[in-house]
Amino acid sequence: MLTRFIIFVFLAHAPLLANAIESGSQIAWTPETLRFVKNGNAEKGQDLAGTCMACHGERGEGTNSEVRDDEKISAIPALAGQLPTYTYKQLRDYANGDRINATMNAIAKSLSEQDAADLAAWYGSLSRPRHPIGEFDVAKAENMVKDGDGKRILPPCFVCHGQNGEGEKIDIPRLARQRAEYFENTLKAYKTGDRHNDIYSKMRLISKQLTDEEIKALSIYYQQIQ
């Protein structure tokens, strides 16, 4: 109970601690918006996803970073099995300019809200990708997931993201089987503030307290969840 109280205090004061007046996103999760996303048409989303395959893969499995025509392409996230609410929010954040990526900003702006809901439904219906299990020591990551760090007022990851990285609807993504490289890059982007569409700076606050070693361990830990 004490741990949960600390977490509650941490999150309740996050806006003040980060001096964050804005939420980081223009999406308001009203009952109507939740119903709208829930009723997304996966079949229509599958048709729309044809233009997404070049980057995100045929089944939304994502890709690691690579060099194409002498240009380095950053790791691209796995979308398969992601919670529709989270995918929808990211597409709308790209469309609204709350999350910045030149390619995704242009694509998202061409999508209607219904398109975003349909794409989210399609990718949410797919099985999460499986990745080979390596020999990297994830003991530190397991401790962070289960216990957090009271000295740094860091909540355990499971409190928000679930015991098995399953996430929760609205603003908490499913982390299980996400590509480690993309996950690592994301936490580092939160840490530097380059990414800032997390509501009330929650992930920015947490990431700033994590070491790069911890971030890497967490990324591999969640990629390997079976």
Q: What DSSP line would sit under 116-141, residue for residue? A: HHHHHHHHHHSPPP---------HHH
**Same structural domain, 119 and 92:** yes
Lowest-pLDDT range of 129-133, 153-157, 181-185, 214-218? 129-133
pLDDT band at 50 (very low <50, low <70, confident <90, very high): very high
pLDDT band at 171 (very low <50, low <70, confident <90, very high): confident
Domain final position from 125, 160, 185:
125
**Same structural domain, 42 and 120:** yes
> Is residue 66 domain-resident?
yes
> Is residue 2 domain-resident?
no
> How many structural domains is the chain composed of?
2
pLDDT band at 38 (very low <50, low <70, confident <90, very high): very high
Q: Which amino acid is at 221?
A: Y
**Same structural domain, 134 and 220:** yes
**Same structural domain, 54 and 75:** yes
Domain final position from 125, 160, 195:
125
The CATH code of the domain that includes 91 is 1.10.760.10
CA neighbor of 203 nearest in space, from 3, 4, 16, 24: 24
> Is residue 176 domain-resident?
yes
> Is residue 94 domain-resident?
yes
Spell out the residues 6+ positions from residue 201 whose beta carbon is closer than 8 angstroms to its own: 14, 15, 17, 18, 20, 24
d(CA 159, CA 216): 20
CA neighbor of 129 nearest in space, from 66, 86, 176, 189: 176
Q: What is the mean pLDDT of the chain?
A: 88
> Is residue 26 domain-resident?
no
Please give the model's pTM, rounded to 2 decimal places.
0.88
**Same structural domain, 119 and 156:** no
DSSP β-bridge partners for residue 95:
none
**Same structural domain, 145 and 117:** no
**Same structural domain, 118 and 145:** no
Q: Are 148 and 67 in contact (CB under 8 A)?
A: no
**Same structural domain, 83 and 114:** yes
d(CA 198, CA 215): 17
Give the domain extent around 42.
31-125
> Is residue 86 domain-resident?
yes
d(CA 159, CA 147): 10
20 pLDDT exceeds 60?
no
Count Cβ atoms below 10 Å from residue 54 Cβ, excluding itself: 10
Dig out the tokens for 195 from the structure: 């990414």
CA neighbor of 6 nearest in space, from 170, 196, 147, 190: 147
> Is residue 15 domain-resident?
no
CA neighbor of 165 nearest in space, from 216, 212, 220: 220
**Same structural domain, 106 and 86:** yes
**Same structural domain, 180 and 134:** yes
Domain final position from 84, 102, 125:
125
**Same structural domain, 44 and 82:** yes
